Structure 1
């Protein structure tokens, strides 16, 4: 007898159970095994011991795969009882038959489980191939070896047959049972009653109802043709059931396919044994073997089609998911966000203006994300995005959408929230994300975000326009201390963005068309008389109709669209060329000031560019001063300090513009090397009447003097201020009280007239 306590001997003791042990499952398993074994006796020839359909082969293997070795406490006794008492089999055959079924199924289950190295969870093409090779060939071969031996020894009626003939026939029917019933038993044991529910739901689909009606009609028509004497037509029609089976497995769920395939095989065997439907009657064991081969070929083909179709369906679902889900964070992507926004805009859903609570669109932008990525690396950037995604998920309601629009850019759609709730959410989001520390490897950085929020108020007609408005709100948010901008209307943002875009396009056309103009504004020395000219280069743009536009009309567009570096290069190149082309201008120049944007101070090649332009033009470096605005955004403070040092090494001077207006005024003096401070006009306009402004200007001059820096007062609007500025210690004055900006050529022409007067 077999002892199922000897783990060192039997390999199935190392089988992993996929589901937990449940006594009720074991009861149903035993009853199902007994019933299937008994029913199999109806699918054979009279006085034959071989069953054309043998479900216990598949049930044994599936039970070991899903339940593990403990199921043998039920399977072995049930099969012994059935063979000894219900079938009145010889005791030696019963023992050989059950031993072979146990060992062969255990070996096959162990080999199949080792294939995936994890408990079986679903039917796949890979599993089917393992089932055919390791179950139907290897496992069934071992089962049939024991069974054929018992059969050959104990069954006197088969003594005339060679042992290998019995073994091969036994092997064939056992293998068919494994192939036909293992997938069905696996899914039934895995899913229980949920399996039947899924099959029931599947058959409610119109496609399967049509298939069922067509198949039933074909079966009835086959029988009708046979009874009316048209056997040839009945036979032809009977063989059309295989295409019908293929139609089914390409349409149905895998749960339905593995159930219908054995049912189909059962009907085909029954029709063949009874000679129905014009099929040739099976009369001997040779005919039964031919039937086995036909069914095996059809079953394997149908199972493979079903498995491939299932895998195809999963791939399609995966592709659909990838089309709407961001691969990195698991959030929705921009395509899915646009689809959801379009549904909100759909007139069928009702006008947004008529909704009781207005939906909101939130745009979150991680500032300087590209530079952060350079610091923490590719994997670090991915980790940061995933962390932000997790944080955003905790802030939204289940029915609210979060999408990743691109590196460091996110959007949220919020509904059923009041204005106060939106403000609280924005504050909570900003607090959660902004200024948090993120570490990747040895690199640590702090995150800064800008948040914009707009109402989806029905004023715009496309998702793209709402996203553009939300993005514009986040850009406006950068200008505030908390970097949050809550818009009450959406249309003004889009219209403002449109105007900005139009100005940018006009600016891009102005460069090749030479419509950018250099202006100069004089800078007067007020502590001592100067014999040469000092001035600041200012930029103007001429519109196509000849109108002269001030910087406020085009520079904000250049800053927004990242065009300031090109503008700075144009001004530097053309200013130096103008001075070099007019030696008398160059001779009269003491100091020419040129503004640098934050984009230029973040460009590692700036110093090399300026050095090249100085060399090409031949303009002495000491005549050039570059002005850095304190309020300008500097992305990399260390690089900016390096650039300023390089510029001073070239021989040019560097001035800090708008001094006193930023939050880090004196920190700039400590971090960067300057030659001059330009005191912002906010301290100059009311200087004559404001004691505070006078104190601020005096203190600035004292600090500058102690550092060896000169000072320039900006926005000097009247000559009456010059005396007070001189008294406070200011070195230079600039403003309308000194001279208005004018074209560079006119500036020097006026100077020439003054000298000749």
Structure 2
């Protein structure tokens, strides 16, 4: 395979040694070109020296031009050329080279993304046309001013010089620039290495030029035509198989060989016809070979791109699944660890912020992985939201690195113009023994580890990343899927009881923080799942699993249906119970079917909407903010209340208080448990109460365990409290039966009159209006 093209668009470093070598090269080539002197004119049929000068300036910059000008003046002096003619030659070369350098540098600013064919065409157009024109227009005068030259010969002089300059620039400018880039490493490595390459190139060039001295005798021997055919085959082979540098070198040597073996002119024919014939032949040969070379290079670039695309991920630059397996097999496997990371809430994130922003998150995750784990690792993104890093055992404690990644990435928050999201990452760690066979089953096992790690029912999440037998992982995964299917089956049945298998409803009273029972708010409905064998499924286990598999909208609709049915069955009204708080997940709030379902339940049951409070729980995040605002605003317009649950953790931020139409904010229990001893928790509770009062919202504190906590929270301004220290959860049917056996109590105040109401969509307080009115 040919080598990668030399990146000639970058300028090489320059010093006096490079300048002296360039000047010497110009003089040697100019002297060798005298072998091609043309007729009675003191001119050479070819003049590669000026093309070489342009290539050197393009490679090393305009500082090279001073050394080249000195070389031209010295060469003229050695050949006895008058001062005026020498100055004209130096000025012509300087003007042409400077113009070409400016044009090429300007064009290369926009070279990125251009294919090799277009690059080659533009380069030769910007060098050959202006360079040959300036050199011909100015340089011809050094020959026209020569003694004995007739003025009528200006066209003849300009024609011959123009052809020789086109030949030199077309064949040698790009060749010289690429050769300088290829040999510059030899310069840095030492003069001996560079001299060896230079000697090789110059020897080949001088050898072909020397053939011109005895070419006629070879032609007379009948060998010339055969050599020409061999030259054509050489150029064709170089254009098809060679690198751009080799193609240009082969084309230049072939063109010189064609001139050396030119058949003699028949008697009576004009020598200028021979010039035109040879010039056209050489130019066409060079143009065709360069175009063919550029076309093949474009093809090779496309093949490399396709090969890279087949093994690399276009989004992150990591390997894809195929590339990872090939790289692991090439590396010999071993011993190493595979770290897997899966974003298991990827679908929710896409629904919330769109695919483009989600891709930005994945790119950020890939950058973080590479920065944290460093070089020496293999990085892959086999599929959307799934990353794999192959870490050699010698790289250090992989378990510590895994813990660091988990801490940094699981729950990592990203803020966009309209939304903020947190990614939920699950991890797996799979050891690979030396010589272990690699296949798709390795990545399947690693993904299985991530799937199991993302299931809270499996206990300590960190332990799931450790060595697990494939059979054990499969059993865990089957158990996970079995729970999902069991949950789907339970959602098809009505609410049961704690003693039976299936879903059932509990409730926990919400009391006034000041101990005034007439000011109690009501109850919060809680979902429970009994297994029937005495080991219930905890909400912290099955609810995250339901969110992960998109079942939460269905779960929330089931809860609403069963709550309405229970209230109707026991004849409970607002006078008996007060508010009934029902939790809604973030994905349900964005579900357009939810409002229709609530409307149908209200119409069927005949219950007062004012007795309900719908709590937005933010475990998975609100998927579409605008739909959530519309839903909560519609619920409040019916007369129901709305609340933000678990405020202060997860995705619940002050931004939600500003944008969502709310009546209550529930302070998360993590700030309440240690409120008696933690000054940080005390400050957080005070801040939330202060913001809530400013926005006209009532506050509810969760996880209140002791009378002392209740008293302190009341002093801080908390309106309502809830927790085991207030009242333990009871099965909802039992609680409703107790209410039904009591005498109807006086009408329960829905809530104290608040200072104002936060108006959704307007961002302002309306004074003196109670929420829900």
- TM > 0.5: yes
Aligned partner of 2:546 in structure 1 is 558
Question: For the residues of structure 2 that align with 1:109 and 1:638, how far apart are their CA atoms?
Answer: 57
| Counterpart among 53, 63, 87 of residue 70 in structure 1 | 63
Aligned partner of 1:80 in structure 2 is 73
Q: Is the 8 A contact 2:586 2:622 kept in 1?
A: no
- 1:368 is displaced (CA, Å) by 8.0
Aligned partner of 1:116 in structure 2 is 108
Aligned partner of 2:238 in structure 1 is 248
Aligned partner of 2:260 in structure 1 is 270
Q: Deviations over 1:55-95 (max 9, x none)?
A: 11202222333334433433233333434534x55665544
Give the alignment of 1:227-242 within 5 angstroms: 235=225, 238-239=228-229, 241-242=231-232
1:500 matched to 2:500: no
Q: 1:616 and 1:263, CA in 2 relative to 1: closer, same or farther beyond 3 A?
A: farther
Q: 1:305 and 1:495, CA in 2 relative to 1: closer, same or farther beyond 3 A?
A: farther
Q: Deviations over 1:342-383 (max 9, x none)?
A: 654x6x987x7xx6x4523231649789669968x9998777
Pick 1 or 2: higher relative contact order, CA cutoff 8 A, min separation 6: 2
Q: Is the 8 A contact 2:337 2:391 kept in 1?
A: yes
| Counterpart among 283, 291, 302 of residue 289 in structure 2 | 302
Give the alignment of 1:659-738 within 5 angstroms: 663-664=670-671, 696=706, 730=727, 733-734=730-731
Give the alignment of 1:473-512 within 5 angstroms: 473-476=452-455, 485-489=464-468, 491=470, 492-501=472-481, 504=484
1:429 matched to 2:405: yes
Question: For the residues of structure 1 that align with 2:508 and 2:455, how far apart are their CA atoms?
Answer: 39
Q: Secondary structure at the match of 1:21?
A: coil
- 1:472 is displaced (CA, Å) by 1.8
Q: Secondary structure at the match of 1:30?
A: helix
Question: For the residues of structure 2 that align with 1:467 and 1:564, how far apart are their CA atoms?
Answer: 27
Aligned partner of 1:203 in structure 2 is none
Q: 1:478 and 1:238, CA in 2 relative to 1: closer, same or farther beyond 3 A?
A: farther
Question: For the residues of structure 2 that align with 1:648 and 1:323, how far apart are their CA atoms?
Answer: 54
Aligned partner of 2:205 in structure 1 is none
Q: Deviations over 1:638-658 (max 9, x none)?
A: 989997897577566899999
Question: For the residues of structure 2 that align with 1:571 and 1:655, how far apart are their CA atoms?
Answer: 17
Tell me how many residue pairs correspond in the alignment.
636
Question: For the residues of structure 2 that align with 1:59 and 1:349, how far apart are their CA atoms?
Answer: 45
Question: For the residues of structure 1 that align with 2:146 and 2:507, how far apart are their CA atoms?
Answer: 124
Give the alignment of 1:164-175 within 5 angstroms: 164-175=155-166
1:635 matched to 2:621: yes
1:393 matched to 2:373: no
Q: Deviations over 1:670-703 (max 9, x none)?
A: 7886999999xxxxxxxxxxxxxxx759977998
Aligned partner of 2:33 in structure 1 is 40
Q: Is the 8 A contact 1:372 1:445 kept in 2?
A: no
TM-score, normalising length: structure 1:
0.65
Please, which runs of 5 or more residues in structure 2 have no aligned partner?
1-8, 194-215, 498-503, 510-516, 518-522, 647-665, 674-683, 742-773
Question: For the residues of structure 2 that align with 1:558 and 1:367, how far apart are their CA atoms?
Answer: 12
- 1:153 is displaced (CA, Å) by 3.6
1:361 matched to 2:351: no
1:106 matched to 2:98: yes
Q: 1:184 and 1:97, CA in 2 relative to 1: closer, same or farther beyond 3 A?
A: same
Q: 1:322 and 1:263, CA in 2 relative to 1: closer, same or farther beyond 3 A?
A: same
Question: For the residues of structure 2 that align with 1:252 and 1:317, how far apart are their CA atoms?
Answer: 16
- 1:587 is displaced (CA, Å) by 5.0
Give the alignment of 1:441-456 within 5 angstroms: 450-456=425-431
Give the alignment of 1:437-586 within 5 angstroms: 450-456=425-431, 462-476=441-455, 485-489=464-468, 491=470, 492-501=472-481, 504=484, 515-519=492-496, 557-570=545-558, 572=560, 585=569
Question: For the residues of structure 1 that align with 2:124 and 2:476, how far apart are their CA atoms?
Answer: 68
Give the alignment of 1:76-225 within 5 angstroms: 76-86=69-79, 89=81, 93-117=85-109, 125=117, 128-154=120-146, 156=148, 159=150, 162-194=153-185
Q: Deviations over 1:197-216 (max 9, x none)?
A: 99x9xxxxxxxxxxxxxxxx
Q: 1:524 and 1:369, CA in 2 relative to 1: closer, same or farther beyond 3 A?
A: closer
Q: Is the 8 A contact 1:18 1:119 kept in 2?
A: no
Q: 1:269 and 1:339, CA in 2 relative to 1: closer, same or farther beyond 3 A?
A: same
Q: 1:396 and 1:562, CA in 2 relative to 1: closer, same or farther beyond 3 A?
A: same
Q: 1:368 and 1:663, CA in 2 relative to 1: closer, same or farther beyond 3 A?
A: farther
| Counterpart among 267, 279, 282 of residue 292 in structure 1 | 279
- 1:39 is displaced (CA, Å) by 1.5
Q: Deviations over 1:570-616 (max 9, x none)?
A: 5545876x789xx8x47589889896453456537576234422344
Question: For the residues of structure 1 that align with 2:187 and 2:483, how far apart are their CA atoms?
Answer: 66
Question: For the residues of structure 2 that align with 1:422 and 1:650, how far apart are their CA atoms?
Answer: 56
Q: Is the 8 A contact 2:311 2:323 kept in 1?
A: no
- Stretch deviating more after TM superposition (129-138 or 617-626): 617-626
- 1:30 is displaced (CA, Å) by 2.0
Question: For the residues of structure 1 that align with 2:294 and 2:460, how far apart are their CA atoms?
Answer: 59
Please, which runs of 5 or more residues in structure 1 have no aligned partner?
1-15, 201-222, 529-533, 680-694, 714-727, 740-746, 752-757
Q: Secondary structure at the match of 2:36?
A: coil
Aligned partner of 2:249 in structure 1 is 259
Q: Deviations over 1:451-498 (max 9, x none)?
A: 523223579952441342242254147998997853321523344334
- 1:31 is displaced (CA, Å) by 1.9
Q: Secondary structure at the match of 2:44?
A: coil
Aligned partner of 2:391 in structure 1 is 414
- 1:176 is displaced (CA, Å) by 1.2
- 1:298 is displaced (CA, Å) by 1.0
Q: Is the 8 A contact 1:100 1:146 kept in 2?
A: yes
Q: 1:281 and 1:19, CA in 2 relative to 1: closer, same or farther beyond 3 A?
A: farther
Aligned partner of 1:6 in structure 2 is none
Q: Secondary structure at the match of 1:138?
A: helix
Q: Is the 8 A contact 1:655 1:677 kept in 2?
A: no
Question: For the residues of structure 1 that align with 2:98 and 2:701, how far apart are their CA atoms?
Answer: 89
Aligned partner of 2:757 in structure 1 is none
Question: For the residues of structure 2 that align with 1:152 and 1:657, how far apart are their CA atoms?
Answer: 96
Aligned partner of 1:210 in structure 2 is none
- Stretch deviating more after TM superposition (179-188 or 553-562): 553-562
Question: For the residues of structure 2 that align with 1:702 and 1:644, how far apart are their CA atoms?
Answer: 32
Question: For the residues of structure 2 that align with 1:181 and 1:325, how far apart are their CA atoms?
Answer: 38
Q: Is the 8 A contact 2:557 2:594 kept in 1?
A: no
Question: For the residues of structure 2 that align with 1:108 and 1:600, how far apart are their CA atoms?
Answer: 64
Q: Is the 8 A contact 2:505 2:731 kept in 1?
A: yes
- 1:143 is displaced (CA, Å) by 1.3
Aligned partner of 2:48 in structure 1 is 55
Aligned partner of 1:340 in structure 2 is 324
- 1:167 is displaced (CA, Å) by 1.0
TM-score, normalising length: structure 2:
0.64
Question: For the residues of structure 2 that align with 1:111 and 1:524, how far apart are their CA atoms?
Answer: 81
Q: Is the 8 A contact 2:377 2:391 kept in 1?
A: yes
Q: Secondary structure at the match of 2:75?
A: helix
